[in-house]
A and B are shown apart, each in its own frame.
Chain A
């Protein structure tokens, strides 16, 4: 009987399964783990601190901009700008009330005498008290006022005729445009 060529152990041993795959898997997972830690520290210590520094430098630059303009010059300039805006507002509101004198001189009959004149910019009204030779003259005077430019309406407040003449009270309401330009 021929002798066996190999020992019993060799005959029963199955071929060895290679351990390369789990080993490579281990190395790859370790590399990825280390890489993830590296990314974390890169973000935390690198990029984040870079952004924090950039933020700080921007803050100081923005704060520095305010100091470039002298505070006194700034206040003066704001005052001047404000004065111009307010001046425009005041000029737009400015009216020439003295225009009523020229108006009365131009639109009063020779037989009419005024003894009192009251003006108020509330409604642009002028209340006149006076005397005329007769009621006919007063009627003519009212007709002149009615036709005059700048007058919105005329109201006869009172009339009192006697031998000496006719006393009257009239209120004239002017248009606002009448006071816009000086005529004195």
Chain B
């Protein structure tokens, strides 16, 4: 082969290789680098997430450990604000209070009110029951009943009451009054 042909061939091949390098860089290496950049970003954010989650989990485990030591406190809190309606518990408490105050619990009716929405994360909705009570007793005993009711372990709010002499005492000087009470008792939804 002639020298000039060899030279031209060498230059031509070198040119082809340079073009090949450009093609490899633009169509293979560059997209690969872009893709790797995205994967690296994702991996870095996952690493950060993992570190944050790890620290959160250790804090939660610590809190749960402490919480298991205060199980009694949770029992007390559940008496003040039970999880779910616990209507029977409310009725039993009202009966006990009426007995303690020596008054007659004549009627008891319950109406569930709508749950209150909450904006705080993890906090469940607060529910309340509207309880209507009709009672009869002496003035001092009815007053004691209200006092016991307002200091009861299950938090109870009196929304309205009506007190007047009992029908059987009208026209007599008997110390007997009728008390119609409307109270709200609270609970936390169980979901």
Contacts and interface: CB of A to CB of B under 8 A. Distances in A.
Contact of A77 (B50, B64, B126): B64
A36 B6 CA distance: 26
A1 interface: no
B21 A29 contact: yes
Contact of A19 (B10, B14, B36, B164): B10
B67 A80 contact: yes
Interface string A38-59: 0110011001100110110011
B63 A58 contact: no
Nearest to B156: A94
Interface in B77-123: 77-78, 80-81, 83, 120, 122-123
B177 to A, nearest CB: 9
Nearest to B24: A36
Contacts of B16: 29
A178 B68 CA distance: 39
Nearest to A48: B36
A184 B3 CA distance: 121
State the majority secondary structure of interface residues on A: helix
A59 B54 CA distance: 13
A61 B126 CA distance: 36
B39 A76 contact: no
Given A86-B81, A96-B150, A118-B160, A33 B60 contact: no
Interface in A51-81: 51-52, 54-55, 58-59, 61-62, 65, 68-70, 73-74, 76-81
Interface residues of B, number: 66
Contacts of A159: none
A36 B160 CA distance: 86
Interface string B35-63: 11001101100110110011001001101
B157 interface: yes
Identify the interface centre among A19, A36, A120: most chain B CB within 10 Å of its CB. Answer: A36
Contacts, number: 193
Given A25-B11, A30-B17, A97 B146 contact: yes
A86 B124 contact: yes
A44 B188 contact: no
Contacts of A82: 122-124, 188
Contacts of A17: 3, 7
Interface string A79-114: 111111111011101111110010000000000000
Contacts of B20: 33, 36
Interface in B146-191: 146-147, 150-151, 155, 157-165, 186, 188
Contacts of B165: 115
Contact of A101 (B32, B36, B122, B146): B146
Interface in A112-158: 115-122
Interface pairs A-B: 4 shortest CB-CB: A29-B17, A22-B10, A97-B158, A98-B146
Given A58-B46, A62-B49, A97-B150, 12 more contacts: A29-B13, A30-B17, A48-B35, A52-B39, A59-B46, A62-B53, A65-B57, A69-B60, A81-B123, A97-B157, A98-B147, A116-B164
8 contacts: A30-B13, A39-B29, A47-B36, A65-B53, A73-B68, A83-B77, A184-B143, A184-B150
